[in-house]
Chains A and B, each alone.
Chain A
Amino acid sequence: MLANFASIDSLFYLAGLVAVIASLKVVTGNNTVHALLYLVVSLLAVAVCFYLMGAPFAAGLEVIVYAGAILVLFVFAVLMFGLGADETANAPQNKNVANMFGAMFLAFALLIEIVIIINNADLQQNLQANVIDSKAVGIMLYGPYLLAVEIASFLLLAGLLAGYHYAKPDVTRGPL
């Protein structure tokens, strides 16, 4: 029992559990900053899962880029532009239970269907213990996926420009 807990497998399940719970807290939270922090927790837990699944490079990226950069962007935006208005105060309220209920129903139906499909696929494979290191990923990225990388860079550039354009102070009064 304890051996089971101590094994790396159980570590994966634990991280998964944390990720699910933290995600739930993100979705249901009222306080913006708390929700962001829960999101960080969720991302870190997922990073642990990545690591345990033999993808240390992805885990690192998850921590550095996702939790480190993107979430920091969130926090900055929330803090600097007053987006973090409390759900309990002037932020939009989710009082409509039926609204929530409809979403829940849809989500559960979707979940059940996905689980059935995965089950029907009869996947017998287990994950391999081998690590796919950053070198292999790099070869792939700058080999067959070079075009995708280029496109991703364009996407980032577009994101940058759009972010700058929309967020700049509206002083010129020119056309949007």
Chain B
Amino acid sequence: MNVLLASLPFYPFVSFLLLIFFGKRLSWRLAATISVSSMAISALVSAILLFELSVTKNQVMTANLWHWFELSYAMGSSDVNVRFYLDGLSAVMISVVTGVGFLIHLFAAIYMKSDVNFSRFMAYMNLFIVAMLILVLADNLVLLYLGWEGVGLCSFLLIGFWYQEQSNVLAARKAFIVTRIGDTSMAIGLLLLFNSFGQLNIEAVTLLAEQANSLSAGTNAESADNIYWIALLLLGGAVGKSAQLPLQTWLPDAMAGPTPVSALIHAATMVTAGVYLIARMHGIFLLAPEVMNYVAWLGALTLLLAGIAALAQTDIKRVLAYSTMSQIGYMMLALGAGAWTAGVFHLMTHAFFKALLFLTAGAVIYALHHQQNLFKMGGLLKKLPFESSLFIIGLICLMALPGTSGFFSKEAIIAQLWSSDTAGPMLWWCAILGALLTSIYSCRLFFLGFLGKARFNENVQLKKSSLLRTSLIILALLSLFGGLIPLDLTLVFSSVMNLPLAQLTEPTWLHTVAIITPFIGMVFSWFYFKSYRISHLAGKEHILQPNNGRFVVFCRQGLGFDGLYKKLFIMPYQWLAQINKNDIFDQIIMLNAWYVGLWHDALVLVQNGSLRWYLAAFGLAIMLLLGVSLL
């Protein structure tokens, strides 16, 4: 029992309670202090926990809070406890959640200062951190699911934070419904898992799965089939939360929320929950190599699709959203290929540089009076040198230039693809192509937004706050040097180590190609996007309007997935609803009412107020009664 571990989610929770109940009466200073300091304490506590974890060599810390309930089924029962479990993997997650979360809170407290509902915003952010911590610390899958739904709720609340605007509300609804599909799949997966293993405790399930793996001859076909389905359904949940194909459509729309939300939830933490889930349940996934293959392919396809879509965007936040999708695609690819550590490592570095990118983008958008259109920016390098330099740092990490954190993690992923059982050269090429696309859209974004001549007339407004700058600078430092953090997850993924490595000969040029790919993209962009760079190029002014060709618009709208889903699911559903407007089943029920009404009408006819009818009815009744007695 570790008190520090047990108390970790409670700091933001207390802050949430204070803000939600007394928010209206708190001044900005007090509300900001409460929420940010709670996050600071959380970050501090997780730092201490990380230190303890590395010192004790115990590698696992647990904290049993209370017994929640007992699950029983035909073959026995299993206790479900509110119990926190900290190992290497969850340690990475809590450090990202609390560390990056703290910096984003700091940023948000200043960024959202003028908002009327400031305390509500901070309360939701704190609640999100609570849910996310529960998710990553959960000892069993039930508690994990609680956190999983909690972050979904907070995501919904925060996307629709400015609920007076309809598009925001629609985006929130879309995000909620689409992730709900994944969550349903995950819930079914959990039930199936409980049915086959009789356990929902992550440790126990992993142990059972490892046993099954080592005795692979003993597992019969039926249980293998079961595990296949469990892995597939859990993958469904991960896909929904992490905005991968085919449930990726909600993430670009989710950018309707305030920018700190995009940074915290839709870039750094929540969307990586799917990655965390798969890494956490790696025992199950190792038993189903087909599903691992699917994971890899889904990741690769999302990576390419999002890269192409990012090339056509005009909105700076949507570029970053698609870039998030594609980077999570990398993580999925890594998980699918069995490169667990690399995937989690990329998760961490991505959290750093993507939070940095979003926050600087937020600062830029604020400076330009809420202008998000890239084609109306330009020349920001001169006007906002500080933000621009931070943005450059974020971009070079995203492009994975050598030396940055992104480089370490992405190269680690790409290096393991070629010779993996469940991946292979095909996916390796996909990853390289993705890296190329990443560098091209990053350059396009940079050229459009920061080089050339300014295409706006207003003066830039700046928030000169040292705290805000501090948070950005810390994130930038983490982005640059986060790759040097030693990440040792061998104990978590110990079962992986038993896998016999495929003895595939790797060509010697692999690493060279991987390293020079971003540079190829940069050189290509330097010439291809020349007009973006030099905006006064004679006769090329039209290029500085967004291209509205059919293919470009198609790409801008996420390669037509929204339209496809509209045709495939929404329209048939609406058609059915239209048919069933009068609710057929309700009509069947209403038949009773109609029948009663019929009798009512008939009896009303009898109650006609005419005395002679009543008398006749008397006579008839007497006649009938006598007749009956006679018969």
Contact = CB atoms under 8 A, between A and B. Distances in A.
B623 A106 contact: yes
A143 B623 CA distance: 37
B619 A110 contact: yes
B626 A102 contact: no
B619 A106 contact: yes
Contacts of B619: 103, 106-107, 110
A91 to B, nearest CB: 16
B620 A106 contact: yes
Nearest to A103: B616
Contacts, number: 24
Contact of B622 (A103, A110, A116, A120): A110
B623 A117 contact: no
B630 A102 contact: no
B507 to A, nearest CB: 108
A117 B630 CA distance: 8
Interface string B487-520: 0000000000000000000000000000000000
Interface in B607-623: 616, 619-620, 622-623
A114 interface: yes
Most buried by B among A103, A109, A114, A116: A109
B486 interface: no
Contacts of A103: 616, 619
Main secondary structure of the interface of A (DSSP, over half): helix
A92 to B, nearest CB: 11
Nearest to B619: A106
A107 to B, nearest CB: 7
A113 B629 CA distance: 10
A109 B627 CA distance: 9
B615 to A, nearest CB: 9
Nearest to B620: A106
Contacts of A106: 616, 619-620, 623
B416 to A, nearest CB: 99
Interface in B581-631: 616, 619-620, 622-623, 626-627, 629-630
A114 B626 contact: yes
Contacts of B623: 106, 109-110, 113
B626 A110 contact: yes
B630 A113 contact: yes
Contacts of A117: 626, 629-630
Interface string A71-90: 00000000000000000000
A106 B616 CA distance: 8
Interface in A101-134: 102-103, 106-107, 109-110, 113-114, 116-117, 120
A121 to B, nearest CB: 12
A155 B627 CA distance: 34
Contact of B627 (A102, A107, A113): A113
A156 B259 CA distance: 94
A102 B622 contact: no
Contacts of A107: 619
A60 B616 CA distance: 34
A109 B629 CA distance: 14
A94 B501 CA distance: 111
A120 to B, nearest CB: 8
Contacts of B620: 106
A106 B626 CA distance: 12
Interface of B: 616, 619-620, 622-623, 626-627, 629-630
5 contacts: A106-B616, A109-B623, A110-B622, A117-B626, A117-B630
Given A103-B616, A106-B623, 14 more contacts: A102-B616, A106-B616, A106-B619, A107-B619, A109-B623, A109-B627, A110-B619, A110-B623, A113-B623, A113-B627, A113-B630, A117-B626, A117-B630, A120-B630
